[in-house]
Chain A
């Protein structure tokens, strides 16, 4: 199963938890908002991606099944 990441930029308040939990794919910009280095989640990181999504205080990080 492949997964894709999306950020809902309206919901995101820049807590930055995602970048802590998934530094392989998520960096923070100078204002603390996430930059996705890649939309698709490498197979080995699927669990981490789901954990990062669950940890977001505003539920702004979305993990979808890749089409």
Chain B
């Protein structure tokens, strides 16, 4: 239905990179670099082919889904916000909560105008009069750089609405969308009991579009090159490209742009291949799931295929666990972190997650009494689905996937005690974990 690319004075033939085209490791792309790379942001009028409703049609037709973790269709979300009462609000979520994820940070630090273009496009499409770009408040350098970029755009007159750069508390659950909305409304940055959801009543009680910054960056290119261009790569069911952060036992850890549907194993090879024989992949991050390496290798990186394989796409993380590491010990450390990061709001999460973390640590580091495994499984059942947000569910999904992917090892731990892998240096980054060298 929406056949023509709306504004294309240049339609790149290259499949990839799209978002990361022209990126420099060393410097920030300023507005001039950005426009040289992608062309100016087309000005969308109030009527005709470039009216806001038409823009949403294009986003719908593009098949873009949220790149923050949930994978919800972006066009549908925009439509529900646009149809709400009164002027809407756009919130760009750049507060990357996943400790192992770097993609949002990469976009914000190197290609801020791609994200800011996306905010402008989203604001136009949903009829917003204000927009916020939220990042972790303790990252003062980033806040300063983004404010500079916004000022540059203000001087050039590119944005239809004022964009306010806002620092939010740097906790895991603070980047949940209802937490951000709560914080922008002057409350604590903690998840809220839904409904109403942000798209119904969010910032200042207005319909609020909360999008991940990578989603918005894609929007910036879809507004330029159209939905057909976007669907030109990736899968018909999951089109376009996506950013992934590959780490763990790989030769070249980092952020890569891939076509949606690229097999997980190929993503590992893109990062230089395994540095050691891989035992399992953690796909989707700390709210994702462990998959045995052999199972994960051919699975296409998209929400549907990973879910069918027992995993999750999350925010596009792939972490390679070598055979010499212990997946249970890694999981125990992450669950401890997630337990510490609970918002202290919901009883089952407040008490259940620390108990689950204790049980997981017992299984990983002590075991041998044939009791730990059963306790982990029963606590997981008690915690799942009982919080206001998905924080406890994410932790449970990780634990359950560990028990499946490392089934034999879990039995061995439970019956005979820890495997030699627990002595290995930790692999998964956990903030505050003294053993982890963040450099």
Which A residues fall within an 8 A CB radius of B? 8-14, 29-33, 35
In the complex the two chains form, is B352's CB within 8 Å of A9's CB? no
In the complex the two chains form, is A9's CB within 8 Å of B382's CB? no
18 A–B contact pairs at CB < 8 A? A8-B193, A8-B388, A9-B193, A9-B345, A9-B386, A9-B387, A10-B193, A10-B346, A11-B193, A12-B347, A29-B347, A29-B348, A29-B352, A31-B347, A31-B351, A33-B347, A33-B351, A35-B386
In the complex the two chains form, is A33's CB within 8 Å of B348's CB? yes
CB distance from B435 to the nearest CB of A (A): 30
Which B residues fall within an 8 A CB radius of A? 191-193, 345-349, 351-352, 355, 382, 386-388
Query: Which residues does chain A contribute within 8 Å of B351, judged by CB atoms?
Result: 30-31, 33
Cα A24 to Cα B191 with chains together (Å): 30
In the complex the two chains form, is B347's CB within 8 Å of A30's CB? no
From A33, which residue of chain B is reached at the shortest CB distance? B347
Q: Which 5 A-B pairs have the closest CB atoms?
A: A9-B346, A33-B347, A31-B351, A10-B345, A8-B193
A sample of 14 more A-B contacts (CB under 8 A), given A11-B193, A14-B347, A30-B382, is A9-B347, A9-B386, A9-B388, A10-B193, A10-B388, A29-B352, A29-B386, A30-B351, A31-B347, A31-B348, A31-B351, A33-B348, A33-B386, A35-B382
Query: Which residues does chain B contribute within 8 Å of A10, judged by CB atoms?
Result: 191-193, 345-346, 388
Query: Which residues does chain B contribute within 8 Å of A32, judged by CB atoms?
Result: 347
Query: Which residues does chain A contribute within 8 Å of B382, judged by CB atoms?
Result: 29-30, 35
In the complex the two chains form, is B352's CB within 8 Å of A12's CB? no
Query: Which residues does chain B contribute within 8 Å of A35, judged by CB atoms?
Result: 382, 386
From A9, A12, A14, A35, name the one whose CB has the most chain B CB atoms within 10 angstroms: A9
Cα A31 to Cα B392 with chains together (Å): 15
Query: Which residues does chain B contribute within 8 Å of A13, judged by CB atoms?
Result: 347
CB distance from B179 to the nearest CB of A (A): 12
CB distance from B162 to the nearest CB of A (A): 32
Query: Which residues does chain A contribute within 8 Å of B191, judged by CB atoms?
Result: 10
Query: Which residues does chain B contribute within 8 Å of A11, judged by CB atoms?
Result: 193
CB distance from A3 to the nearest CB of B (A): 18
Query: Which residues does chain B contribute within 8 Å of A14, judged by CB atoms?
Result: 347
From B387, which residue of chain A is reached at the shortest CB distance? A9
Cα A32 to Cα B388 with chains together (Å): 17
Cα A14 to Cα B348 with chains together (Å): 10
CB distance from A49 to the nearest CB of B (A): 19
From B379, which residue of chain A is reached at the shortest CB distance? A30
Query: Which residues does chain A contribute within 8 Å of B387, judged by CB atoms?
Result: 9
Cα A56 to Cα B382 with chains together (Å): 22
Cα A31 to Cα B379 with chains together (Å): 12
From A14, which residue of chain B is reached at the shortest CB distance? B347
Query: Which residues does chain B contribute within 8 Å of A31, judged by CB atoms?
Result: 347-348, 351-352
CB distance from A56 to the nearest CB of B (A): 13
From B348, B352, B355, B387, name the one whose CB has the most chain A CB atoms within 10 angstroms: B348
CB distance from A10 to the nearest CB of B (A): 5
CB distance from A21 to the nearest CB of B (A): 19
Query: Which residues does chain B contribute within 8 Å of A33, judged by CB atoms?
Result: 347-348, 351, 386
